[in-house]
């Protein structure tokens, strides 16, 4: 695994962390989740910018956005006990399938 793909993976984790921290920020009223969300978003952007030095944006951006989306959806169901249904499962499966196809094509 090259460093660039490690940066993408870390950016996805930062994106997921940021989105989940937003859930607990109470509209930016709670300091810790607010600072965590903002710093995690900043980290995600920085890490993606590092990956884009040598990887194509047409591959990196969809993988980053899709990975973050699928990760947030999955963790929201598992950790936050949000309702799961067949449509959410199909959507997550489609996002992950799209990421796999992009990796194969790239």
Tens digit of each residue's pLDDT (9 = 90 or more) over 29-43: 999 999 999 999 999
What does the chain look like in DSSP terms, one character per residue?
--HHHHHHHHHHHHHHHHHHHHHHSTTTTSHHHHHHHHHHHHHHHHHHHHHTTTS-HHHHHHHHHHHHHHHHHHHHHHTS-----HHHHHHHHHHHHHHHHHHHH-
Residues in the chain: 106
Residue 106 has pLDDT above 70, yes or no: no
What do you get for the CA distance between the two ends of the chain, in Å?
Answer: 14
Q: What pLDDT sits at residue 10?
A: 98
Question: pLDDT of 43-85, one tens digit each?
Answer: 999 999 999 999 999 889 988 998 999 999 999 999 999 999 9
> Which residue in 22, 12, 8 sits closest to 70, CA to CA?
12
Residue 1 has pLDDT above 80, yes or no: no
Q: How many separate domains does the chain show?
A: 1
How far lies 84's CA from each of 15, 20, 74, 76, in Å? 21, 17, 9, 9
Q: What pLDDT sits at residue 79?
A: 92
14: containing domain: 3-105
């Amino acid at each position: 695994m090259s460093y660039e793909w490690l940066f993408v993976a870390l950016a996805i984790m930062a994106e997921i962390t940021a989105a989940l921290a937003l859930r607990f920020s109470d509209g930016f009223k709670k300091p810790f989740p607010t600072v965590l969300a903002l710093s995690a978003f900043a980290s995600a952007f920085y890490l993606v910018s590092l990956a884009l030095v040598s990887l194509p944006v047409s591959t990196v951006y969809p993988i980053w956005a899709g990975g973050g989306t699928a990760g947030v959806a999955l963790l929201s169901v598992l950790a936050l006990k949000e309702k799961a249904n067949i449509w959410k499962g199909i959507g997550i499966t489609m996002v992950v399938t799209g990421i796999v196809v992009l990796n194969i094509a790239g």
